Structure 1
Amino acid sequence: MKPFFVLIKCQLGRSYDVATSIADAEIASEVYSTAGDYDLIAKFYVEDEADIGHFVNEKVQRIAGIQDTKTIITFKAF
């Protein structure tokens, strides 16, 4: 399994709705509120052969209330 993170900027007033939608869809292992340029950060896992870009496009960016995302691909856990 490949882990990666997605920073999520929500439409104004939609952070809790977006976080709930991600949790209800059971696509993320963890979702956190953040301060700063992005409202949420979520940790995802996909199969080693899966395309992360396709996953983000199809599963994450289509959630109502998301304005922007930034994907952080990870390489090694310490």
Structure 2
Amino acid sequence: MQTFFVQIKCKLGKTYEVATALADAEIASEIYSTAGHYDILAKFHLDDAHDIGHFVGEKVQTLPGIQDTLTVITFKAF
């Protein structure tokens, strides 16, 4: 199982719409609003057989209202 986070920058005024669309898609295990360069932080779990890049490009970045993303791949939880 791969765990990774995606920071999402939304188009102006679209943060809640993006967060709702992400929740409705039921692909993220946790979704948080944040302050700073990005508006949302989402946590994902993906089977080892799946490619994170394809998943983010096809399932996350295609949601309406997203301007930019930054993916953080994790190795081990302590």
Q: TM-score, normalised by structure 2?
A: 0.99
- Percent identity between matched residues is 69
Structure 2 residue ranges without an equivalent (≥5): none
1:70 alignment counterpart:
70
TM superposition shift of 1:49 = 1.5
Residues 7-36 of structure 1: per-residue CA shift (max 9 Å, x gap): 000000000000000000000000000000
Show structure 1 runs of 5+ residues with no match: none
Provide the C-alpha distance between the structure 2 equivalents of 1:62 and 1:2, rounded to a whole number of angstroms. 21
Give the aligned CA root-mean-square deviation in angstroms.
0.4
Q: Name 2:36's counterpart in structure 1.
A: 36
Q: Show the counterpart of 1:46.
A: 46
Question: How many equivalent residue pairs?
Answer: 78
Distance 2:46 2:12 in 1: 29
Aligned counterpart, 2:18: 18
Alpha-carbon distance in structure 1 between the residues aligned to 2:31 and 2:70: 14
TM-score scaled by length of structure 1 = 0.99
Deviating above 2 A after TM superposition, structure 1's stretches of 4 or more consecutive aligned residues are: none
Distance 2:26 2:44 in 1: 10
Residue 57 of structure 2 corresponds to: 57
